[in-house]
Amino acid sequence: MSLPRRTAGASTRPGAKAGPSPQDKKLQLDAFALDSAQQLSTNQGVLLSDNHHSLKAGLRGPTLLEDFILREKITHFDHERIPERAVHARGAAAHGVFKLYKPLSEYTTAGFLQLPEVSTPVFVRFSTVVGSRGSPDTVRDVRGFAVKFYTQEGNYDLVGNNMPVFFIQDAIKFPDLVHAIKPEPHHEMPQASSAHDTFWDFVSLMPESTHMLMWLMSDRALPRSYRMMEGFGVHSFQLINGRGQSHFVKFHWKPKLGVHAMAWDEAQKIAGRDADFHRRDLWEAIETGQFPEWELGIQVLDAARAGALGLDLLDATKLIPEELVPVIPVGRMTLNRNPENYFAETEQVAFHPGHLVPGIDFSNDPLLQGRLFSYTDTQLSRLGGPNFHEIPINRSLCPVHNFQRDGAHRQGIGRGRVAYEPNTLAQGAEFRVDGSAQGFQSQPQGIETPKLRAASQSFNDHFSQATLFWNSQSPAEKEHIVAAFRFELSQLESTEIRQRMVDNLAHVDLHLATRVASPLGIGAPDAVAAAGRLGFKNYPRGDTLAESPALRMVGNYPPDVHTRRLAVLVADGVDMAAVRRLLQELGEAGVQHRIIAPHLGYVGTATGRTLAVNQSFSSATSVMFDAVLVPGGAPSAQTLAQLGGAIHFVLEAYKHGKPICAVNEGVGLLATLGFSLSTTQPVALSVPTPGVLLADSHRAQEGEISQAFIHAIGLHRHWDRLNVDAVPA
C-alpha cells in the first residue's frame, strides 16, 4: 500500500527525510562539538581570539559599549529561559519506535495503523502536572503521558495522562482548576502539592471531580517509575475506516513492567534525596539498554453499543470498564534513545490533541474541544511565535507543504512568489485544494440546536464510577486512599472545607467517608448536607458493575523483576559464598544489585577475599532500592546490628513493603522487627510475613531461596505486611 503524500505550495523542508537535515547537522556540530574546530566563534561565525576578557579602555578601565562580542554573549544568556509550561512544567522524555501488531483497517485508514512492517518513530514526554520545572518528581500528582508519532502522513499526538479520567467535564473550568491546585497566589505555596485549601475548596464544590479525586488519592499518583505507569488518552476519539464508518475509541498504554507505586512516606523522602528520581530512572534504563516498553491498546465501540452501556462517552470524568469493553492490544512502543539536549528536545517539544492524521478524529467531548484551542495558543507564548512546528523536535518527518509565510524565527525558505491558492502562477496550470479525496477529512455529523451554555443530563452522575473505583481496590490500596485523604485534608486551614469534602465522600461510600473523617477533628460525614448543594443532581444510577478488577494495581500484571534494584548490606566478615549463587540467579533474572557497607572501598569476606563496596550507609538509603538482601557471616551481621544506618535501612524497607531476604546470621539484623531463625523447628526458608524471607542456606535446596526471592521481588511491594504502622522509620 502506498501512503498518500501531501502536495501543494512552498515546502519548508524540501525533500526532507527522516533524521536531521544537513543544515541541522551543521547546527549540532557548531553548537557543542568544539573538538573538531577547537575554536569559539560569535553566532555569525566570526572566530574569537579571547573568551576571557571584555574589551576595556585600558587594563583597569571601564568596558566599552563597542564590545559586540561581550554584548552578543550576554544578550543570548539573558534570554536563555523560556516560560515554563503553565501545567506539566516538570518532565522527562525519550525517543523510540512504535510497531503495529496487525493492520487496523477494519477501524481506521490511519497509515501508521496499517502496516506492521513500518516502524513509526515516537517522542514521549512524561511529566508531573502541578509543580514548577525544578520541583521533585515523586510528589502526589497526575502524570502526563504525551506521545508524538512521526508518521508518514504527518505528526499524530496522543496527549494523555496516567489516569483515565479528568477533574472537570468542560474546558471552560480548566483555568479555575489549575488556579486552585497551583501554589496559592498570595504567597506562592505550597509547591507541587494539592494538599492546600484552594484545591480542596474548589473540588469539594465541584462534585464532578470526585471520581478523579479517588484516582489522585490512590497509589496511581505515586508511580515507582515512568516505566511502570499505564497511560490513557482519556477522551473518546473516533477511528474512521475506509468506508467512512466511525467507531468511538479510548486509547490505553500498558507497561511491560507492570503498574507499580511507591509508599507515600517513601515518595516524600525521595523528593528530598533525589528530586530527579523518575527522570534519572528513565534515563539510566535507556542508557543501559533496558528499553521501556508499552503495549498500545484500544477499546472500540460504535454509537449504539455506547448508548446501551448507559455511559456518556463525551464525559471525561467517566471511563469504560475493561470488563464491559475489552482493551484490544494493537502494537508496541519501545523507548530506546535518550534526548541529546534537554532544552532542544524535552523542553521545546509541543504537543497538541488536535494534531491528528487521516483516519482519526476527535469527539464532541467539551473538555477536548477546549483543549483544541489551548495547545497552539500556549506554544505561541512559550515557544515565541507561530513557527514552533519548525523546531527540529516538532518537525514532521514527511514533507510539509502549505502557504503559511513569515513570522518570528521562520526557518524554512519558501521558494517563488506564490503563497496562496488557487493559483496558476506556481505550475502554469490552475492549482487548487478543494475537495480532494486524499488527506484529512472531518467526520460528518449532525449538530444539535439550540445553542446554549449547559451540560447534558447524562453528565450528571458524579459518583457511581467513584464508588466503582473504590469497590474495585484491594484492601491495601483502600488503606492508602484513606490515608491520602486524611493527609491532604489535615493540611487544610479551613475545617468547613474538610467537612464539605467528607460529606461529598459519603456519596461514594459511607465507610470510606467515616474513616477519612475520624482523625480530622470534624463532624461525621453527612451525605444529606452535601446533596443539598449545587451540582448534586439526582441522577438515576445505571446498572454499573459491582467492581472492575482492572482498576486495581495489585495483581493485574505478571510479576517482572527487570531493573529492580537490590541493596546488599555487608560488613567485614560477610559470608558472600553463601549468597553468590543467589546473586547470580537474581542478576540473570534482571535484578541489579549494589553493595552497601559501613565504609567505601572494600570489605573482607569470610573466606578472606575482598569485596568492592558501591555505597556506604552515609549516602545510601533504602528508598533508592526495591529490595534488600542481608547475607550471613557472624562478624558482618554483628557489625550491622550495631549500626543505626543499617538498622534504619531494613526498618524503612520493611515499612515500605519491600522484599527483604536475610540469610543465616544476617537474620540478626531483623531482630528489631522481632524476626529470628527458628532454632526449635529449623527450616530452610520461612516467610513470617509477606515478602520477608528468612533463609538457612545450609538447609535450602538449590535454587529454593532465589526462586522465592525473585517471586517476592516480582510482586514489587507487600502492602499486607504485619505491624507496619508500629515500625519507627
Minimum CB distance to ligand HDD, residue 107 (Å): 22
From 86, 328, 520, 611, residue interacting with ligand HDD (rule: CB under 6 A):
86
Cβ proximity to ligand HDD: between 174 and 719 the closer is: 174
The 292-321 contact track toward ligand HDD, x by CB under 6 A, reads: ------------------------x-----
Cα distances (angstroms) measured from residue 316 to each of 45, 98, 163, 331, 364: 52, 26, 11, 25, 11
Q: Is 664 exposed, middle or buried (0-12, 13-18, 19+ CB in 10 A)?
A: buried
**What residues contact residue 421 under an 8 Å CB cut-off, 6+ apart?**
8, 9, 403, 431, 432, 433
> In 10 A of CB 322, how many CB atoms?
18
Q: Which stretch binds ligand HDD (CB under 6 A): 71-79, 345-353, 617-625, 626-634?
A: 345-353
- Nearest distance from C-beta of residue 578 to ligand HDD, angstroms: 48
Q: Which stretch binds ligand HDD (CB under 6 A): 10-18, 157-165, 318-326, 483-491?
A: 157-165
When the beta carbons of 86 and 643 are compared against ligand HDD, the nearer one is: 86
Select from 62-70, 349-357, 646-654, 664-672 the region that touches ligand HDD (CB under 6 A): 349-357
Using the contact rule CB under 6 A, the part of the chain among 166-174, 206-214, 478-486, 666-674 near ligand HDD is 166-174
Q: Binding string, 662-701, against ligand HDD, x = CB under 6 A?
A: ----------------------------------------
CB-based contact 260:223 (threshold 8 Å) = yes
Q: How far apart, in whole angstroms, are the C-alpha atoms of residue 654 and residue 507?
A: 35
Of 52, 53, 79, 88, catalytic = 88
Minimal distance, residue 87 CB to ligand HDD, in Å:
5
User: Is 87 near ligand HDD (CB under 6 A)?
Assistant: yes
522 in contact with ligand HDD (CB under 6 A): no
Cα dihedral 434→436→439→444 (10° resolution)? 80
HEC assignment per residue over 295-307: EEEEEEECHHHHH
Answer yes or no: are the C-beta atoms of 498 and 520 closer than 8 Å. yes
**Residue 285: CB atoms within 10 Å:** 21
Closer CB to ligand HDD, 100 or 311, in the complex: 311
Q: Which three cell numbers stand for residue 647?
A: 538498622
Distance between CA 180 and CA 670 in Å, rounded?
45
Half-sphere exposure of 296 (CA within 13 A, CB side): 25
- Candidate ranges 207-215, 327-335, 344-352, 542-550; the one touching ligand HDD (CB under 6 A): 344-352
Q: Does the annotation count 161 as an active-site position?
A: yes
Shortest gap between Cβ of 375 and ligand HDD (angstroms)? 5
Query: According to the binding rule CB under 6 A, does residue 198 interact with ligand HDD?
Result: no
Nearest approach in angstroms of CB 18 to ligand HDD is: 22
Nearer to ligand HDD, 96 or 668 (CB): 96
Q: Contact between 252 and ligand HDD (CB under 6 A)?
A: no
Shortest Å distance, C-beta 313 to ligand HDD: 13
Distance CA(725)–CA(247), nearest Å, equals 49
Binding status of residue 146 toward ligand HDD by CB under 6 A: yes
Distance between CA atoms of 709 and 718, rounded to whole angstroms?
A: 12
Burial annotation 178-212 (CB, 10 A radius, 16+ → b, else e): eebbbbeeeeeebebbbbbbbbbbbbbbbbbbbbb
Binding residues for ligand HDD, how many (CB under 6 A)?
27
350 vs 624, which CB is nearer to ligand HDD?
A: 350
Cα 342 to Cα 90, 93, 160, 400, distances in angstroms: 12, 8, 21, 25
Residues contacting residue 449 through CB under 8 Å, at least 6 positions apart: none
Torsion sign (Cα): 512, 516, 521, 526: negative
- Where does this chain touch ligand HDD (CB under 6 A) — which range of 261-269, 346-354, 437-445, 526-534? 346-354
- Give the residue at shortest CB distance from ligand HDD: 144
Choice from 94, 285, 330, 367 touching ligand HDD (CB under 6 A) = 367
Q: Which of 98, 150, 351, 463 binds ligand HDD (CB under 6 A)?
A: 351
Q: Is 132 in the site for ligand HDD (CB under 6 A)?
A: no
- Among residues 357, 356, 392, 388, the alpha carbon closest in space to that of 372 is found at 356
Q: Binder to ligand HDD among 166, 277, 294, 709 (CB under 6 A)?
A: 166
Tell how far CA 311 is from the center of its chain: 27
Whole-number Å distance between alpha carbons of 259 and 223: 8
From the list 66-74, 160-168, 274-282, 296-304, the region that binds ligand HDD by CB under 6 A is: 160-168
Peptide bond into 190 cis (omega under 30): yes
Q: Binding residue for ligand HDD (CB under 6 A) from 13, 88, 256, 500?
A: 88
Distance CA 729, CA 654 (A): 9
CB of 345 to ligand HDD, least distance (A): 11
Within residues 170-189, the interface with ligand HDD by CB under 6 A covers 171, 174
Fill in the DSSP letter of residue 686.
Answer: E
Amino acid type, 284: E
The answer to whether the beta carbons of residues 159 and 352 sit under 8 Å apart is yes
125 binds ligand HDD (CB under 6 A): yes
Give the per-residue contact string, 202-241, with ligand HDD (x = CB under 6 A; - = no): --------------------------------xx------
Assign 3-state DSSP to the chain and report helix, strand, coil percentages, each to 5.
30, 15, 50
Which listed residue (155, 161, 471, 504) is catalytic? Answer: 161
Angle, helices 475-490 vs 510-517, to 10°: value is: 50
Q: Is residue 375 close enough to count as binding ligand HDD by CB under 6 A?
A: yes
Binders of ligand HDD in range 396-455 (CB under 6 A): none
CB of 169 to ligand HDD, least distance (A): 10
Among 132, 378, 689, 707, binds ligand HDD (CB under 6 A): 378
Nearer to ligand HDD, 385 or 587 (CB): 385
Given a contact cutoff of 8 angstroms between Cβ atoms, the answer to whether 530 and 506 are in contact is: yes
Closest to ligand HDD by CB, 338 vs 621, is 338
Q: Of 368-376, 401-409, 493-501, 556-564, which part binds ligand HDD (CB under 6 A)?
A: 368-376
Structural contact between residues 655 and 670, judged by C-beta atoms closer than 8 angstroms: no
For 250, other C-beta atoms within 10 Å of its C-beta total 23
Question: Per CB under 6 A, does 374 bind ligand HDD?
Answer: yes
Q: Does 161 bind ligand HDD (CB under 6 A)?
A: yes
Residue 95 binds to ligand HDD (criterion: CB under 6 A): no
Question: Does 371 interact with ligand HDD (rule: CB under 6 A)?
Answer: yes
The residue range among 44-52, 199-207, 374-382, 692-700 that interacts with ligand HDD, by the rule CB under 6 A, is 374-382
Q: What angle do CA 638, 643, 647 make, to 5 degrees?
A: 95
The least CB distance from residue 520 to ligand HDD, in Å, is 30
Active site residue 88: yes
User: In whole angstroms, what is the distance from residue 617 CA to residue 594 CA?
Assistant: 12
Does 85 contact ligand HDD by CB under 6 A?
Answer: yes
Residue 460 to residue 107: CA distance in whole angstroms: 31
Q: Of the candidates 622, 626, 628, which has an alpha carbon nearest to the alpha carbon of residue 714? A: 626
User: Which residues are the active-site residues?
Assistant: 88, 161
Q: List contacts with ligand HDD (CB under 6 A).
A: 85-88, 91, 125, 127, 144, 146, 159-161, 166, 171, 174, 234-235, 316, 349-351, 367, 370-371, 374-375, 378
